[in-house]
Chains A and B, each alone.
Chain A
Amino acid sequence: MRRINRDEQALIKLTLNGTPVAARAEPRLLFSDFLRHQLGATGTHVGCEHGVCGCCTVMVDGVATRSCLMLAVQAEGREVRTVEALAGPELELNDLQRAFRENHALQCGFCTPGILMSFTDYLARENADVSAEAVRDVLGGHICRCTGYQGIVDAIVETAKGSMTP
């Protein structure tokens, strides 16, 4: 049994964007704070800290997850992907990121990493419904205060269409 006392700094190992990493955390440390403060992965943003705004969304074992609704200890041994994983080796934007830029799907950019990770999961699913309506449903798990959402919906639908053309 894994047992950690409240004031104990346990060593947490996991895979972050393909690289094994390890850092220390007390049980109460949120995974969002662990990523940012212990691992330096500050691309993941923290907004509401109670699972409403979606800014802190990352992928854990392949599925989009709120990192503020998860403890660092719960991520132990997991495969984690954050927004830092999306761009290529020369920092060239991937299709989804490029579509965001071209469709004015961001302004301040605070919510963007979470939205990108949600749709990195969603668009990779078999038979994902990529109608604007279905995209809006998934986007319902995020709050964007700049764009009014239309540019985001356009970017995602465009990316989905692009990836389906042979």
Chain B
Amino acid sequence: MKPRAFDYARPETLAEALDLLGEFGDAARVVAGGQSLTAMLNLRLLEPSLLIDIARLRELDFIRVEKGFLEVGAAVTQDRLLAWPGLGAHVPLLAQALPWVGHFQTRNRGTVCGSLAHADPSSELPLSLAALGGEVVLRSARGSRTLPAGEFQRGLLTTARAPDELIVAARFPVGATRTAFREIARRHGDFAIVAVAAVVVPGGVRLAAGGVADRPGVVVVNDLAPAAVAERLNGFAWELGGSDDIHATARYRRDLVRSLGARVIEEALACAA
């Protein structure tokens, strides 16, 4: 229950961090809040030879609204974003989902981008990013690129980040004000058995579900008549293809996608435009 030995580096600038990542690539791991990573180090699920600590990088410490997106830098903790006064007005889905991320004690240190980097299939922030159609900004010494949520998260704890790339920011579209979030877990703060988020978009509702497949699944429901919604959700629940595990059966998860899905769609539509 103690990490294997590794070297530690705390760069002073983003450029230094990117140089280190360029040099060490896969052998290095980036740590910001470390609320998932340190547990994995302790359990020796990960054995990096170098840890690059970006938590104190000023360049990554920003929350700003720019060109229709809420941009959250990689050093921003979940708690700081939740406490940011403009959150409810700009991206209400995040105000709804963030209280479900881990516990009070882990949100104090865990970062928004770190959660996206970890890419746990049941975690709330990747789900929110997928539901909103957000983006992830990656930077390396070679340059910068921006990936949509669907292209960024590739599978269980797997993303499209190249070994020399650093996630520098997450971009959540501003303006989706009719949204809803629900989650079922054994205990508040535990991993979601199923979590769903609904966002009203032109011509329908975009629904994302986490905790079932190896990454958040997304469906756009255009026909909002109750019977049509039920049929679409049933198809979606089967398409996600969950499996039985110690937390829940696949059948229970399909059931939750159908019932919670219908509820969040209804709740999102009930929000004032």
Which residues does A use to contact B, with CB under 8 Å?
Answer: 1-7, 26-28, 30, 33, 49-51, 54, 57, 60, 63-66, 68-71, 73-74, 118, 121-122, 136-138, 140-141
Contact = CB atoms under 8 A, between A and B. Distances in A.
A69 B55 contact: no
Contact of A57 (B16, B34, B102, B105): B105
Given A28-B5, A141-B102, 14 more contacts: A28-B3, A51-B106, A54-B103, A64-B104, A64-B108, A69-B35, A69-B38, A69-B39, A69-B106, A70-B34, A71-B34, A140-B103, A140-B187, A140-B188
> Chain A CB within 10 Å — which of B3, B5, B35, B108 has the most?
B108
B9 A3 contact: yes
Nearest to A49: B1
A141 B104 contact: yes
23 contacts: A1-B11, A3-B8, A3-B9, A6-B5, A7-B5, A27-B6, A28-B41, A30-B38, A49-B42, A50-B42, A50-B43, A60-B109, A63-B108, A64-B105, A68-B38, A69-B34, A70-B38, A71-B51, A74-B34, A118-B105, A137-B188, A141-B104, A141-B189
Given A6-B6, A69-B34, A74-B34, A138 B104 contact: yes
B64 interface: no
Given A1-B16, A68-B42, A74-B34, A141 B6 contact: no
Interface in B108-152: 108-109
B8 A71 contact: yes
Contacts of B79: 63
Contacts of A68: 38, 42
A159 to B, nearest CB: 17
7 tightest Cβ-Cβ pairs between the two chains A and B: A141-B103, A27-B8, A6-B5, A50-B39, A2-B10, A63-B108, A69-B38
Contacts of A3: 7-10
Interface string B11-37: 110001000000000000001001100
A105 B31 CA distance: 36
* SS of B interface (majority): loop
A26 B7 CA distance: 9
A81 to B, nearest CB: 13
A7 to B, nearest CB: 7
Interface bin, chain B: 35 or more
B3 A66 contact: no
A137 to B, nearest CB: 5
Nearest to B8: A27
Interface string B52-76: 0101000000000000000000000
A6 B187 CA distance: 38
Interface string B166-199: 0000000000000000000001110000000000
B247 interface: no
A121 B1 CA distance: 28
A74 B51 CA distance: 11
A28 B6 contact: yes
Contacts of A27: 5-8, 51
Given A26-B5, A49-B1, A63-B79, A1 B12 contact: yes
Contacts of A28: 2-6, 41
Contacts of B189: 137, 140-141
A74 B56 CA distance: 10
A41 to B, nearest CB: 18
Contacts of A63: 79, 108-109
A5 B38 CA distance: 18
> Chain B CB within 10 Å — which of A26, A65, A140 has the most?
A140
